[in-house]
Chain A
Amino acid sequence: MGSTQLPTPGINGTGLDQQSPAGGSSSDPAAEMIQLLGPDGKLGTDPVFSDYAKRLDPEQLRGFYADMAKVRRFDQEATALQRQGELALWVPLTGQEAAQIGSGRATQRQDYIFPTYREHGVALTRDVDLAELLKLFRGISNGGWDPTENNFHLYTLVLAAQTLHSVGYAMGIQRDQKLAEANGSNDPKAAVVAYFGDGASSEGDVHESMVFAASYNAPVVFFCQNNHWAISVPTEVQTKVPLFNRAKGYGFPGIRVDGNDVIAVHAVTEWALEHAREGRGPVLIEAYTYRVGAHTTADDPTKYRETAEETAWRGKDPLDRLEKYLRNEGLADDAFFEQVKVDGDKLAAHVRSTTQSLQGPDFRESFAGVYAEPHPLVAEELAWFEEYSAGFEGDEEEGTSN
C-alpha cells in the first residue's frame, strides 16, 4: 500500500524532507515503497499516486499486460536464439517487465530515452522493432537502430556513461525550450529518462550526472532498476542505504516504487516526468524489482544465490498480479489472454526469422563510420585492404580458400 510519507507534487524536492529514510537499511522496503497493485491483484490507494492511476482507462491497462507479455515472450525467444547459436549473448529481462513497460508507457513522444542494455521493454514502448535489438547481440552491429527515429538511444555497455549523456541532452532541451518560448512556440515540453541499475549506481558517472542535473535543474528522470543483483554481487555491496535516498544528498526528490507493479511504476514515472518537464528539476526513481533469470546467457545464478529467493520473487510476478486484477475487475476475459499469447508467438516468429536472415556486414563498411568527414589514414587502410582482398579473388571458385 502507498506510504503517506511522499514527495508532494508542487513542492520542488522539499517534499522529500517528510520522507523518512529507513535508518540505513534496505532490508525492509515495504514501509517506504510506493505500491498500488499488490501481488494479490488488489488495487490499493495512495494519497498522491492514486490520482495518476485513475487516469488509466481499461484499454491502457490491457495494453500494459499485452506489452509485458509480449516482451517476456520476446525474451524467451532471444534466449532460445542464443542457445541455438544465433546470438553471441543475451541479457534477459524477465521479472523487470513492469518496471520497463510502466516507465516506458509514461514517456511521451518528445521525451528522449537513454537505456543501458537490458531495456527491451522500454524499447517496445518506443516502437523500436525488437528484432533490431538483436543486431548488437548477433555481432552484426554495435548499434542497430536509428535513435533519432523513436528518441530511444543506442544501448550503452560501459555502465553509467549514458547517465551523463542524459543530463547533457536535458541541458540541450532546456536551451531549446528557452528559445522556443521566446519565439512563442507551444511545442510540448520534453524530458529525458536515464535508465541504469543498482550495480551501475556505484559508478562515478552516476554521481557526476546527479551533481550536474541538480546544478542546472535539468529535466531528467533517473530511473534505477534495482534488480538486486549486479551479475553475482548483491545490492548490499553497492549501497548501505536505500538507493532512492541518495537523491536527497543531491537535493532532488527520490522515490522507491514497487518495480513489479506496473500501475505504480507508471504513476510515479508520470509524476516525475511532469515534474521535470515543468522545469522543477530532476527526480530519482528506484524501481524495486528482481532479475528472475541470469545476468546474461553466460551467467550461472546457482553459484551465488538461493533458488528460494528466486521463488519468493516469482510470487511477486508483475504479469500474474495484473492478470488477477484484470480478471477480478472484469476488464479482460479468456479471449483477451488467448489473443495476447497469439500476438506474442507472432512477435517471436518475426524476431526469429528476422534474426536468422540478418547477415554480417561487409567488413569494408567498418571503415566508413569511423569518422564523419574524410580521413586520409582510414582511406589508406581501406585501399590497402581492398588490394589485399583482391589478391584472393577467384580463390573460392577454385576451392583453395582457407
Chain B
Amino acid sequence: MSTMTIAKAINEGLRASLTNNPKSLLMGEDIGPLGGVYRVTDGLVREFGVDRVVDTPLAESGIVGTAIGLALRGYRPICEIQFDGFVFPGFNQITTQLAKMHSRSGGKLTVPVVIRIPYGGGIGSIEHHSESPEALFAHTAGLRIITPSNAHDAYWMIQQAVDCTDPVIFFEPKRRYWLKGEVDTDAPGPASDPFQAHVLREGSDATIVAYGPLVPVALAAAAAAEEDGRSIEVIDLRSISPIDFDTVTASAKKTGRLIVAHEAPTFGGIGGEISARISERAFLHLEAPVIRVGGFHMPYPVAKVEEDYLPDIDKLLEALDRSLAY
C-alpha cells in the first residue's frame, strides 16, 4: 500500500504498462520532457525513450489516426488528448475508424488503442478546458469508456485499458488529479473488472449514481444526508460504456429512489440512459421518478460562474429531498 495522487497513480500505471507490455507506447502533445500539461507522463520519456513516449505534432486526428495504424501493426498505443474540448479534431478517426475497425473487418482486425482524456470542470479554466463529452462517445458502438474516481482505480484501470483488446476511452477527472488515496500496487483487489460498478457506500433510503469527478461529491452529499437521518447508497459507475446495469438495478430495487449525477448536460446524457433502463428494469420497485443532476443545456459557462453550473452537494441534497418527498 502506498499513498499517491490520482495523477501519480496514472503515471505509475502507465509505467507498469510500458514495463510489462513491450508493444505499448504513449503518444500525445507535450508528453515527453514536459510530462504533459498535467505532468501525468512525468519522467516516462527518460525511462522508456522517444520511440515509446512520443511527442507528436499538434494534431489530434493525426494522433488517433496514426495510433490506429500502429495498432494494426501490432502495437498498443496510449494517446493523450490534452483537454476534453480538443478531442473533436480526432472525433472522426475515433468514431468512424477506431470504433468500427473490428466490426467491419468481420472480427479479423483488432485496434487496442487507449485514448486518455482529462475531462470535467471546476478548475477555473478557460473555454474548451472543462467539458464532459462522454455521452458523444458512449453513443458509438465499438468503444469502451471508463473513468476512475480514486487513485487505486486509476492505477489499475489504466493498465486494464491497455490490456483490453477493444479501443478504450479513458476519461481522467482532471480536478481530482491531486486527490490522494491508498493504492495497492500488488493487486487490484476483488471486483477488479473495470467495467463493473462499485457500491462505495450502502444505504436504504435512496441511491446516488455518479462517476469520475462527482464521486467525492456524491459521498459528501450522502454523509450530509446521514446527519438528517437519511441512509443513502452511493454507486461509482466506473464504466460509462458498457454500463453495469445489474449493480444499478439491484440498488434501485432496494432503495426505490435513484439520483444520477454527472457534470455533462442532462439532455441526451448518460443519466437519461440510466433513467430509461432503470424504468424498464425496476418500474414497480420505484417510489419516485429517477432524477438527473447535471449540467445545463448550454456551452460550458465561463469560469467565474461555473460553480452555478456544476452539480454540487446542495444540488444533490435538493434532488434527494425531491425524490424522498415524491
Contact = CB atoms under 8 A, between A and B. Distances in A.
Contact of A143 (B93, B106, B144, B164): B106
Interface string B99-122: 010111111111000000000000
Interface string A346-384: 000000000000000000001011111101111000000
Given A161-B92, A375-B242, A168 B72 contact: yes
B104 A204 contact: no
Contacts of A211: 57, 59, 62
Given A143-B106, A147-B108, A165 B74 contact: no
A373 B165 contact: yes
Nearest to A114: B69
B142 interface: yes
Contacts of B195: 376
Contacts of A141: 106
Q: What interface size band does chain B fall in?
A: 35 or more
Given A164-B61, A164-B68, A211-B59, A371 B166 contact: yes
Given A164-B62, A208-B61, A368 B107 contact: yes
A52 to B, nearest CB: 28
B73 A370 contact: no
Interface stretch (A43-51, A169-177, A263-271): A169-177
A369 B165 CA distance: 12
A149 to B, nearest CB: 9
A169 B72 contact: yes
A373 B166 contact: yes
Interface residues of A, number: 44
Contacts of B244: 376
A205 B108 CA distance: 25
Contacts of A378: 141
A148 B107 CA distance: 12
Interface in A53-86: none
A175 B25 CA distance: 11
B186 interface: no
Given A209-B62, A215-B57, A170 B104 contact: no
A169 B56 CA distance: 15
A167 interface: yes
Contacts of B105: 143, 146-147, 154, 369
Nearest to A368: B107
Given A168-B73, A371-B142, A372-B107, A208 B65 contact: yes
Contacts of B100: 142
A122 to B, nearest CB: 18
B72 A158 contact: no
A143 B66 contact: no
Contacts of B61: 164, 204-205, 208
Interface in B63-82: 64-75, 77
A205 B102 contact: no
A164 B65 contact: yes
Contacts of A158: 92, 96-97
B232 to A, nearest CB: 26
Tell me if A's interface is mostly helix, strand, loop or mixed. Answer: helix
B70 A372 contact: no
A373 B143 CA distance: 11
Nearest to B60: A208
B51 interface: yes
Contacts of B96: 158, 161
A166 interface: yes
Given A208-B65, A209-B65, A375-B242, A175 B72 contact: no
B165 A205 contact: no
Interface string B170-191: 0000000000000000000000
A170 B59 contact: no
Contacts of A154: 104-105, 109
B1 to A, nearest CB: 30
A109 interface: no
B110 A161 contact: no
A327 interface: no
Contacts of B68: 164-165, 168
A164 B102 contact: no
A172 B73 contact: yes
A313 interface: no
A167 B103 contact: no
Contact of A372 (B73, B110, B242, B246): B110
A170 B68 CA distance: 11
B108 A143 contact: yes
Contact of B109 (A147, A204, A370, A371): A147
Interface string A370-400: 1111011110000000000000000000000
B93 A164 contact: yes
Contacts of B59: 208, 211-212
B97 A172 contact: no
Interface in B191-206: 195
A161 B93 contact: yes
Contacts of A173: 73
Contacts of B57: 208, 211-212, 215
A187 to B, nearest CB: 14
Contact of B97 (A146, A161, A212): A161
Interface string B30-51: 0000000000000000000001
B242 A377 contact: yes
B242 A373 contact: no
A240 interface: no
B62 A369 contact: no
Given A165-B97, A209-B66, A371-B166, 12 more contacts: A164-B66, A164-B68, A164-B93, A165-B66, A168-B73, A172-B75, A205-B62, A211-B62, A212-B56, A212-B66, A369-B104, A370-B102
Interface of A: 112, 141-143, 146-148, 153-154, 156, 158, 161, 163-173, 175-176, 178, 204-205, 208-209, 211-212, 215, 366, 368-373, 375-378
Q: Which 5 A-B pairs have the closest CB atoms?
A: A168-B69, A164-B65, A172-B73, A168-B66, A208-B62
12 contacts: A154-B109, A164-B61, A164-B62, A165-B66, A165-B72, A167-B69, A168-B69, A172-B75, A208-B59, A208-B65, A212-B56, A375-B242
